[in-house]
A and B are shown apart, each in its own frame.
Chain A
Amino acid sequence: MIRYYILYFILLYLTLPFNWVIDFIAIFGFFIIFNEDEHFALIYLFFSGLLLDLYNPSALGKNTLIYTLLAQGLIYTKKYISHNLITTLAAFTVFFALKTLLIQLTHPGYFTILQIILTEILFIPAFLILNRIKYGIWMKS
């Protein structure tokens, strides 16, 4: 389990400089909430938000607040979401849209349409690869 936690943090650091192009952190966060311990998921999302705040120092606490709230919300509602590709994509779209909306409200112009489109397109491949790495299968049923 620990090695996967380390892997998530390595992935976080590797993708942080490119996060303004593709929001990998949202994808990893979403995957971790669904597949890892809830405490770890909350810590990971908080830490991701903090790193984003430090990397783009425009408003400290903004990303940490939004990620913590969304993580807790998703942890609470994930039991109602079934494990199939369409539902997962729909759930991620809602999660990502909420996150984008909240950040847009606090910091207009932070997101670009290209980032939203690329993140949505790459979500499924990234989610499948993460499943493959962790469980050895492309999609849990």
Chain B
Amino acid sequence: MRRTQLILFAVFITISLILFFLNDKSALILSENLSSILLFPIKVTTQFLDYLSVSNTRIENLEIEINQLKLQNAQLRKMVPSDTEQFKAKNFKLIKAFIIGRDPQNINGYLYIDKGQTDSITKGQPVIAINGLVGKIKYAGKNLSIVETLENEGFAISAIDIKTGIHGVVKQKQGLLFDYIRNIDTVNINDSILTSGMSQIFPGGILIGKIKKIVKTEDTFFKKVYLTPAVRINRLTSVYVILNQKKLPK
């Protein structure tokens, strides 16, 4: 074995062992920082493919959603709870978690909470606060987890205007945008926007925010509808994780 080869091998083994024996929290922070650099090409490609996929299917999906609108609207009016207390009453199993950190590069985009896999938290579980939706679990470590909030760029969720029954997708795009709302659709300032329940992750009826601004653009089909989030992420100190989407037996 040549000397430089031996040195290289020793350096790599040392780095690997250091990484291997890092504690959960340090490993998480290191992973987060390294991922943003080393996995950048994959992230960009995936986002581009997702965008294409959404573009191709969005009109078809909206047609289907509009056809289902009246029926779902009627159902949602009866069943939607709008705050955490009502969720408790509906027998959703919630767990309270305290925020122990924030991503310094994206202060409201990711929250670190003090509950993890040992508390039955898994990736994808919805996270709410007293006033409404916060986000979902992005990563569940042993004793801490990362929450991707709705203020993170790329976060998207199927939503409904509870007053008019219009469906759309809420996403973070220079503000909280209620997207894919047709120019011919009627939505009003101060209408409440809730999760529609048409996803595998979020149950229906969680308050996302209220309409604050409607902007007509040059887009032939869609207008821009901006929301005021129900939850002020930067003021949160604790959140609730919904452990089960289905109602528990009484």
Q: Residues of A at under 8 Å CB distance from B? A: 13, 16-17, 38-39, 42-43, 46, 49-51, 53-55, 57, 59-62, 64-65, 68-69, 72, 75-76
Contact = CB atoms under 8 A, between A and B. Distances in A.
A61 B8 contact: no
6 contacts: A17-B46, A42-B5, A46-B15, A61-B19, A64-B12, A64-B16
B86 interface: no
B22 A42 contact: no
Interface string B1-36: 110110011001101111111100001101100110
Interface in B14-63: 15-22, 27-28, 30-31, 34-35, 38-39, 41-42, 46
Interface residues on B, range: 20 to 34
Contact of B17 (A38, A53, A65, A75): A65
A42 B128 CA distance: 46
B139 interface: yes
A51 B15 contact: no
B9 A61 contact: no
B213 to A, nearest CB: 38
B19 A60 contact: yes
A43 B139 contact: no
B71 to A, nearest CB: 38
A64 B8 contact: no
Contacts of A57: 27-28, 31, 35, 139
A16 B17 contact: no
A54 B9 contact: no
Given A59-B20, A68-B16, A39 B42 contact: no
B42 A61 contact: no
Contacts of A62: 20
Given A39-B8, A57-B139, A65-B13, A16 B19 contact: no
B41 A46 contact: no
Nearest to B34: A54
B41 A13 contact: yes
B38 to A, nearest CB: 6
A10 B230 CA distance: 43
A39 to B, nearest CB: 6
B35 A54 contact: yes
Contacts of B17: 61, 65
A38 B5 contact: yes
Contacts of A38: 2, 5
Contact of A42 (B9, B28, B41): B9
A49 B20 CA distance: 12
A60 B22 contact: yes
A39 B4 contact: yes
Contacts of B16: 46, 49, 61, 64-65, 68
The 8 closest A-B CB pairs, nearest first, are A61-B19, A61-B20, A65-B16, A64-B16, A68-B12, A60-B27, A46-B12, A60-B19
Given A13-B42, A60-B20, A64-B19, 5 more contacts: A43-B8, A50-B34, A57-B35, A61-B20, A75-B5
Contact of B13 (A13, A51, A69): A69
Interface string B176-199: 000000000000000000000000
A37 to B, nearest CB: 10
A59 B17 CA distance: 11
A62 B18 CA distance: 10
